[in-house]
Amino acid sequence: MMTVHIKTPLGPARIRGDENGIASVSALNTEDITYDEVIPEVLEDCAYQLREYFEGKRQEFDLKLNPEGSDFQKRVWDELLKIPYGKTTSYLELSKKLGDVKAIRAVAGANGKNPLWVIVPCHRVIGSDGSMTGYGAGIWRKKWLLEHESPYKQQSLF
């Protein structure tokens, strides 16, 4: 498994993967990182596409993914991939799409274990009341990502 650390507007991120695909992308809660100058070939496209996303030049990722998880978690993550850029859904709606409204807690748990930060857009899932519910990378990152994707940009008053 190859690893690379890259800079993002939300702090450092770690990409892990191999010839079978990208296994994980994680936001790191430290600035004490040595960024890699050379990106392993199997991770280059992921790093490039993430850079394009953060620059506002990419709305969808085209990568071979290989996350580790249970069959249920993978079903949830596949459903997350269907949430369009700039849109949100609720945990309840996600549960309904998966065919079991009573599975809302399990869906939320699988959402929270998503190993592919940004690429599998778990940040697009919010509470039924529109609230910013838990987010492993930090609510401040979730808000930033949703604002970044919003078609309605905040205008400066000055």
- Catalogue the active-site residues: 122
Contact between 3 and 18 (Cβ < 8 Å) = no
**Bridge partners (DSSP) listed for residue 11:** 8
| Strands of the chain, DSSP E | 2-8, 11-18, 21-27, 89-90, 125-126
- The answer to whether the beta carbons of residues 6 and 47 sit under 8 Å apart is yes
